[in-house]
Chain A
Amino acid sequence: NAGVTQTPKFQVLKTGQSMTLQCAQDMNHEYMSWYRQDPGMGLRLIHYSVGAGITDQGEVPNGYNVSRSTTEDFPLRLLSAAPSQTSVYFCASRLRGAITEAFFGQGTRLTVV
């Protein structure tokens, strides 16, 4: 049981490049979400999904796209990277009725130059 797996762990992009951050969970959790973590700020919700085929925007969705074709996978796409997207990104999952996002991935540290 691997929990929540994120890849890559580190990434450097040039402004304007695109990339996909991968997130997979093997716990059959319905709810998955993406957060970014910036210095001096709490985790902020980017996008979330309550099940396969269903996604919605969080607090800071601009510049990011998501899809949820399977229960296991929830990739986050940056279409045209900007320096403001330099951050640490965390994927999380939980059962639909759970109170907390009890399972987080290890994070992806992204730098956009």
Chain B
Amino acid sequence: GESVGLHLPTLSVQEGDNSIINCAYSNSASDYFIWYKQESGKGPQFIIDIRSNMDKRQGQRVTVLLNKTVKHLSLQIAATQPGDSAVYFCAERPNTGTASKLTFGTGTRLQVTL
């Protein structure tokens, strides 16, 4: 069943193409930024994170870009596959303090067409 709202922004991408999902964050003092993937009926799954002293970080088929000047975060997925279809959330966190809390964005739905 659906675990997020019906009016999420949706990105439709053909299988094999690259996907770029964007996120604007609010707190210029945030030190960590994280991307999560949430498939229908499941809990969020950690994808990749980046610290504020970095501009880019790469993982397996994913790249996160951070532009602190305009407070913008993006997730790039290379060679998008049907299994990438999900809702993607960004989150920000001020520091690694024990009680430091995450603030989540509302998400973008990625639909992969065949």
With A48-B99, A96-B98 known as contacts, the answer to whether A41 contacts B5 (CB < 8 A) is: yes
Chain A residue at minimal CB-CB distance from B31: A99
Q: Give the interface size bracket for A toward B.
A: 20 to 34
One of B11-19, B43-51, B73-81 contacting the partner? B43-51
A97 → B minimal CB distance (Å): 6
The answer to whether A42 and B106 touch across the interface, beta carbons within 8 angstroms, is yes
The total of chain B residues at the interface (CB under 8 A) is: 29
The CA-CA distance from A44 to B93 in the complex, in Å, is 13
The answer to whether A105 and B93 touch across the interface, beta carbons within 8 angstroms, is no
The answer to whether B5 and A40 touch across the interface, beta carbons within 8 angstroms, is yes
Pick the contact of B99: A50, A97, A98, A100 (CB < 8 A): A50
B37 → A minimal CB distance (Å): 11
Residues of B with Cβ closer than 8 Å to A? 1, 3-8, 32, 34, 41-46, 49, 89, 91, 93, 96, 98-99, 101-107
